[in-house]
Structure formats: structure tokens, C-alpha cells
């Protein structure tokens, strides 16, 4: 159950961050509301996740997966530059989360 809630928290955070791009500095109503709702939902779900997962594991997965997903969305859908260095950075973030979990963070 904890990992399901964590996955939902990541999705909500990524949706909120992506909507923030479209809010144009919080000057557009709907993207701004989606940003706020996404972050409220993300933090609520993350708090529920912490009932069953350790804070180090949950936060590492939440932050790492969210960072990697937002970076990938930026490159694929938002016409942000793509380079081998950026892709390597995303892979390193993912590898760091995996190593933390293998190392017994939970």
C-alpha cells in the first residue's frame, strides 16, 4: 500500500510541477489551481506513505523519481534541450534511488 501511495504522490507532484510551467508565474488561473492542487495532493499522499515507509526511502524515491520525470517531460514535451549529459544526470538520479533502496534505507 505504501508504494502505491508513493507512486500517486509522485504523479501528483509531477502534474503540479508541469502545470506550474503553464501558469506563467501564477498569472493563469487553471494551471495555477492545478499546481496548488497537485502539490497539496502530493504532500498529503507523501504524509500517508510515511506511515508505512521510512522517511529516507520515501523521500529519496519521491524526490528522485519526480526530478527524473519532470526533466524527461521537459525534454520530450516542452522542447527543452536534450543532451547526453542531461540524460546521464537523469540516469544517475535513478541509480542513486536504486542504490539507496538496495543499501537498506527502509
Which domain covers residue 41, as residue numbers?
2-102
Cβ neighbors of 19 (< 8 A, separation 6 or more) are 31, 32, 34, 35, 38
Q: Residue written as cell 506550474?
A: 20
- Residue 102's alpha-carbon distances to 57, 67, 77, 96, in angstroms, are 10, 20, 32, 10
DSSP-derived 3-state class of residue 93: helix
- pLDDT tens, position by position, 64-81: 999 999 999 999 999 999
Q: Does the pLDDT at position 104 exceed 70?
A: no
Please tell me the total count of domains within the chain. 1
Q: Which long-range contacts (CB under 8 A, 24 or more apart) does 66-69 make?
A: 66/10, 66/13, 66/14, 66/17, 67/93, 68/93, 68/94, 69/10, 69/14
What is the distance between the alpha carbons of residues 12 and 38, in angstroms, rounded to a whole number? 5
E strand intervals along the chain: none
In this structure, are residues 74 and 17 in contact, taking their beta carbons and an 8 Å threshold? no
Instruction: Choose the weakest-confidence range: 31-35, 42-46, 55-59, 102-106.
Output: 102-106
- pLDDT tens, position by position, 7-29: 999 999 999 999 999 999 999 99
**pLDDT band at residue 105 under the 50/70/90 scheme:** low
Amino acid at each position: 500500500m505504501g508504494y502505491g501511495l508513493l507512486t500517486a504522490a509522485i504523479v501528483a507532484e509531477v502534474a503540479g510541477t508541469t502545470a506550474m510551467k503553464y501558469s506563467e508565474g501564477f498569472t493563469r488561473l487553471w494551471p495555477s489551481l492545478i499546481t496548488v492542487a497537485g502539490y497539496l495532493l502530493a504532500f498529503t499522499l507523501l504524509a500517508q506513505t510515511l506511515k508505512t515507509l521510512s522517511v529516507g526511502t520515501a523521500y529519496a524515491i519521491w524526490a528522485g523519481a519526480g526530478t527524473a520525470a519532470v526533466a524527461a517531460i521537459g525534454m520530450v514535451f516542452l522542447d527543452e534541450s536534450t543532451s547526453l549529459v542531461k540524460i546521464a544526470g537523469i540516469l544517475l538520479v535513478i541509480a542513486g534511488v536504486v542504490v539507496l533502496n538496495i543499501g537498506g534505507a527502509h
